[in-house]
Structure 1
């Protein structure tokens, strides 16, 4: 199914052909979700978690509406008929996942946020089996194991003992719950109505923001309003455009192209890009374990996404 119109079409050429390239598309959420985790931790205590999530999805819905407008006339009725799954997907993947992540960032470290996300591909595999009885192929299994090993190598700095001594806090429970919710969203995406990608994104963003509204009002009334600062404005802009619109369109398309089990491996690119950003922006040094971890993740994703040779 093509992301441009929600229906099969001949393979596009030029820039639009990127919408048919799962390896490229997996880079997009990996990069922007890495920034989302770092930003969430960096602004902990300054920007309220529900407020950040609410304005993230409100702005994202507003920005994508002009792109979705031409398709909504035909797609709204389709999505309305599928309202139960639209509501479930909006709650799990939009409202709950990101809000829980931002709650987790208040009391845990960025490394714990990233580490717990590496569990998501495994949970997706379990979920697709429980819900759809979908079996993992040997090639996919090898890819998931290799990619997980690479992600843990980056997080542990190449020393497995580090993982045993991580300091887990209340925020880690929030993050674990968030990961479970997004794994469920990934598994259930195959049940989404067949509509244009822009229409689906707008509808889920708007529904997700609406579900968050009463909690945002309660947070504001409780004494933690969204601050009118440059930091808050930058945060909302980043998470709305990059971590929401671009990352979600790309991730949803990857699920269409290669299935939930393989698409979940995009999460293992989060520590890869976190490492690259730390080197480029913070001047941190590269070490052998960086190369080992990135190579394992690249190998795992290649194994999981490559098509079997024609017989």
Structure 2
């Protein structure tokens, strides 16, 4: 039985979108200091170190992790290896506000994947929600000028973020198809460490490919170290903890609405740290996307 939404639970569910929005801003700030795919690897390597004291038993041969290695290898590929790497790649050419707004289309991908791949029925309300959300995404892509859709040339970052959103939606559906023991699902640090263990393999392979294919370099210094500590301890570990505790209290339906606060926080942070003030079309797109999600989520 889920509890009512209390002030404490509200704080728990508000902290993750704040940290995720900060992740987008920080990723943009350090884009000239470290290659994006390498940033993703370093982020999760530090997160692995943070999680190790909390759930190091997961790596034991008798923990049950290795009997589920295929599942966690796929979850690690989508959630750790692909999603965040694509997000950081997107931030090379797209703004944090655009990236977080594009990520707000994830529920639309979830509906489509659920219908096509998992036999999930789509209601009339959900179809209306899809139309509204797609209109919001289209508004971002055309930068507020609908005539551009006739001769649309996408910024590479927009395409990367669409791919990242698809990967996250598929990852979320696979999470819903639980096959691991109950004690894994009830221990957020163990479940996350299992994914990060395999995700580190994928992200290291992608990072190695990045260094082979481009003239990669890292500008070490306190700004980069501070950024790495934030993106690993905050968005990669603490946000997962708060999100998991919040969902346990009120369920995923109510918690899902809080995820859409990330674009609002990203707009504030971008204005404060990057001087990238949001435009009117950002506000309209935000209303369309969130409105579509609200309509689609109602039963």
Please list the CA deviations of residues 82-139 of structure 1 after superposition, one character each: whole Å capped at 9, or x if unmatched: 2211110100010111112222322x22154334323322111111112221123455
Q: Gaps (5+ residues) in structure 1?
A: 1-8
Mapping of 1:183-194 within 5 angstroms? 183-192=169-178, 193=180, 194=182
Closer, same or farther: CA 76–86 of 1 in aligned 2, 3 Å = farther
Change (3 A) 1:251 1:87: farther
Q: Residue 271 in 1 paired to residue 226 in 2?
A: no
Q: Does 1:258 align with 2:252?
A: yes
What value does the CA root-mean-square deviation take over the aligned residues? 4.2
Cα displacement (A) at 1:12: 11
1:55 maps to 42
Q: What is the match of residue 232 of structure 2?
A: 240
Paired position in structure 2 for 1:210: 201
Runs of 5+ consecutive residues of structure 2 not aligned to the other structure: none
Match of 1:122 in 2: 108
Question: 2:94 is matched with which residue?
Answer: 109
Q: TM-score, normalised by structure 1?
A: 0.71
Quick one: structure 1 residues 152 and 266, their matched pair in 2 at CA, closer, same or farther if it must change by over 3 Å? farther
Report the counterpart of residue 81 of structure 1 in structure 2: 67
User: What SS is found at the alignment partner of 1:130?
Assistant: helix
In the aligned structure 1, how far is the partner of 2:88 from the partner of 2:104?
17
Q: How far does the alpha carbon of each residue in 1:175-199 deviate from its partner, in whole angstroms, 9 at most, with x for none?
A: 3322221121112111242412110
More off after superposition, 168-177 vs 291-300:
291-300
Q: 1:48 to 1:130 in 2, by over 3 A?
A: same
Number of residue pairs matched?
290
What residue is the counterpart of 1:45 in the other structure?
32
1:247-289 Cα shifts (integer Å, max 9, x gaps):
3345566778337xx84x6654332212233456678889987
Instruction: State how far apart, in whole Å, the 2-side matches of 1:275 and 1:13 are.
Output: 26
In structure 2, how many angstroms separate the alpha carbons of the residues matched to 1:272 and 1:13? 21
User: Which of 167, 190, 199 matches 1:181?
Assistant: 167
Q: TM-score, normalised by structure 2?
A: 0.74
Q: Does 1:227 align with 2:227?
A: no
